[in-house]
Chains A and B, each alone.
Chain A
Amino acid sequence: MNLMSAPGAGKTTLLEATLRALHGEFRVAVIEGDLQTDLDAQRIQALGVPAFQITTGTVCHLDARMVARAMDSFPIDELDLLVIENVGNLICPASFDLGESLRIVVCSVAEGAEKPKKYPVMFNKADVILINKIDLAAASDVDLWQLEANIMDVNPKAILFALSSKTGAGLSAWTDWLKTAVQTRTSLPLAGTN
Chain B
Amino acid sequence: MSNKPLRHEVFPPVHEISIAENILQIAEAKAREQNARSIQLIKLRLGTFTTIVEEALQFAFEVCRQGTLAAEAILEIETVEMVTECMVCDSQAQPAHGICLICRTCGFPLRILAGEELRVEYIEVDLKQEESLSLPFQNEYQSRPMY
* A contact set with B: CB distance below 8 Å: 29, 38, 41, 45, 50-61, 63, 66, 69-70, 73-74, 91-92, 94-96, 117, 120-122, 124, 152-157, 194
Return the contact of B109 from the options A50, A57, A156 (Cβ within 8 A).
A156
Give chain B residues whose Cβ lies under 8 Å from the Cβ of A153: 99-102
Interface segment, B35-43, B46-54, B127-135, B136-144? B46-54
Give chain B residues whose Cβ lies under 8 Å from the Cβ of A74: 1
Give the interface centre of B49, B51, B100, B101 by most chain A CB atoms within 10 Å: B51
B95 to chain A, nearest CB (A): 15
Return the contact of A66 from the options B2, B8, B110, B111 (Cβ within 8 A).
B8
The size class of the interface chain B forms with chain A is 20 to 34
> CA–CA, A119 to B3, complex, Å?
34
* B contact set with A: CB distance below 8 Å: 1-3, 5-8, 10-15, 18-19, 49-52, 99-102, 108-112, 118
Return the contact of B15 from the options A38, A70, A91 (Cβ within 8 A).
A91
> CA–CA, A124 to B3, complex, Å?
34
B131 to chain A, nearest CB (A): 32
Q: Beyond A38-B5, A122-B51, A153-B100: 16 further Cβ-contacts under 8 Å?
A: A53-B5, A55-B7, A59-B15, A60-B14, A60-B15, A61-B18, A69-B6, A92-B15, A92-B51, A95-B19, A95-B51, A124-B101, A153-B99, A153-B101, A153-B102, A155-B101
Given the interface pairs A63-B18, A120-B99, A153-B101, the reply to whether A95 lies near B50 with Cβ below 8 Å is yes
Q: Are A121 and B102 in contact (CB under 8 A)?
A: no
Q: Are A157 and B18 in contact (CB under 8 A)?
A: no
> CA–CA, A124 to B50, complex, Å?
11
Return the contact of A157 from the options B5, B109, B118 (Cβ within 8 A).
B109
Chain B residue at smallest Cβ distance from A42 = B2
Q: Are A45 and B5 in contact (CB under 8 A)?
A: no
Return the contact of B3 from the options A52, A61, A96, A122 (Cβ within 8 A).
A52
Chain A residue at smallest Cβ distance from B49 = A121
Chain A residue at smallest Cβ distance from B13 = A58
Given the interface pairs A60-B13, A95-B118, A194-B111, the reply to whether A50 lies near B101 with Cβ below 8 Å is no
